Amino acid sequence: MTQKVLFVCLGNICRSPAAEGVFRSLCPNVATDSAGTASYHVGDPPYGAMQQAIRGRGFDISDLRARQFRPVDFQTFDLIVAMDDNNLSNIEALRPKGNETPVRLFTDYAPQSGMDHVPDPYYTRDFEGCLDLIEAAAKGLRDSLGGDG
């Protein structure tokens, strides 16, 4: 049973806190966290435009603060979910020897989207499109956990 899920993007101020915010509402019994592969925004709240967009859908992520992904996360979490291939490679580069924690792309849980990554709205400015994809993938992830959330 998957009990602890970590969502990872680059800065941990747009995509992964949004993913965490949606997923923790869908699965309140699963422990969640999010992190960035980079350290630029450590300690920062989620990006203002993302907070506003996600609040429009009924999710409040104002409590979240950015932190950097660290190797011990492989031991703490049962599942690590990356927003894109760069995040995935940066995570894999830190995998401790012998650790087998699964690392998956978030879009794997939304095959109907036809997307192979979650585009970064910090650059695209498409916050609504990003949240559509995040909501679809969060539901797919919930369903993949067999309703144990």
Residue 32 sits in the site that holds ligand 4NP (CB under 6 A): no
Q: Which of 14, 15, 33, 130 is catalytic?
A: 15
Measure the CA–CA gap between 36 and 13, rounded to whole angstroms: 8
Residue 82 zone, left/alpha/beta (φ > 0; ψ -120 to 50; rest)? beta
C-beta of residue 27 within 8 angstroms of C-beta of residue 54: no
Q: Under the criterion CB under 6 A, does residue 120 sit at the interface with ligand 4NP?
A: yes
The residue among 11 and 149 lying less far from ligand 4NP, judged by its C-beta, is 11
Q: How far is the CB of 111 from ligand 4NP (least distance, A)?
A: 22
Structure-block tokens of residue 73: 């996360």
Least spacing, CB of residue 27 vs ligand 4NP, in Å: 21
Contact 29, 148 (CB under 8 A): yes
Binding site for ligand 4NP (CB under 6 A): 9-15, 36, 40, 120, 122
